Amino acid sequence: MEPFKEHKGIAVPLNRGNVDTDQIIPKQFLKRIERTGFGEFLFFHWRFDDDGNLRDEFVLNQPKYENATILLAGDNFGCGSSREHAPWALEDYGFKVIIAPDFADIFYNNSLKNGILVIKMNEEQVQQWMKKAEQGLTLDVDLEKQEITDTDGTVVSFDIPPYHKEKLLNGWDDIALTLLEEDAIQAFEEKRA
């Protein structure tokens, strides 16, 4: 995993609550056995109509958000199915940061495992940024300092569990870390046997 230290990018507002992973990546794309290439299927039925044409009204299809890398989302984002194809699709599409009042917890974990910085931020602030994003908003997210600086220079701090922060900053592989605990795991197994 690439270390995540700081990211500056255009924010796109997806102002809906309870966006489920079936919307983020529909089931017909879960048959692939690879981990890559899911970006083109992101929000598939919201981005494309039944004939495969872009739906102009969907926010991701608006030219001003074409290069957006920060997703502003509603409450309980990523609820439903545990499919990790959802963060794979978001990451492959180009998203580095997702900011929402709250996330579904499997999705939250899955995102962190893929180097996406998921930030829980109070609803008022998210709504304020969503409004600003309609006119164009660039956010500078500094994980080390746990600060987000918006276009006006306003600085907002955010929380993240220290454990997740450390892993993201270093790009650590979870499994390699756990394998350092081999003695403890073995001792546990022996004690129970």
Binding site for another protein (CB under 8 A): 16-18, 20, 22-23, 26-28, 30-35, 45, 50, 75-76, 79-84, 87, 102, 104-106, 109-110, 113-114, 161-163, 174-175, 178-179, 181, 184-185, 188-189
Shortest Cβ 79–another protein spacing (Å): 6
**Other Cβ atoms within 10 Å of 137 Cβ, number:** 22
Residue with smaller CB distance to another protein, 50 or 56: 50
Shortest Cβ 138–another protein spacing (Å): 27
Residue with smaller CB distance to another protein, 66 or 181: 181
Distance CA 101, CA 159 (A): 12
Residue with smaller CB distance to another protein, 155 or 172: 172
The upper half-sphere exposure of residue 26, i.e. CA atoms within 13 Å in the direction of its Cβ, equals 9
Residue with smaller CB distance to another protein, 99 or 139: 99
Residue with smaller CB distance to another protein, 75 or 147: 75
Contacts of 40 (CB under 8 A, 6+ apart): 92, 93
Distance CA 65, CA 42 (A): 15
Strands 6-14 and 138-142: antiparallel
Shortest Cβ 19–another protein spacing (Å): 10
Shortest Cβ 140–another protein spacing (Å): 28
Handedness of CA 57, 60, 61, 65 (dihedral sign): positive
Shortest Cβ 77–another protein spacing (Å): 10
Q: Which of 171, 79, 167, 157 is nearest to 120 (CA)?
A: 157
Looking at the DSSP bridge assignments, the partners of residue 77 are 103
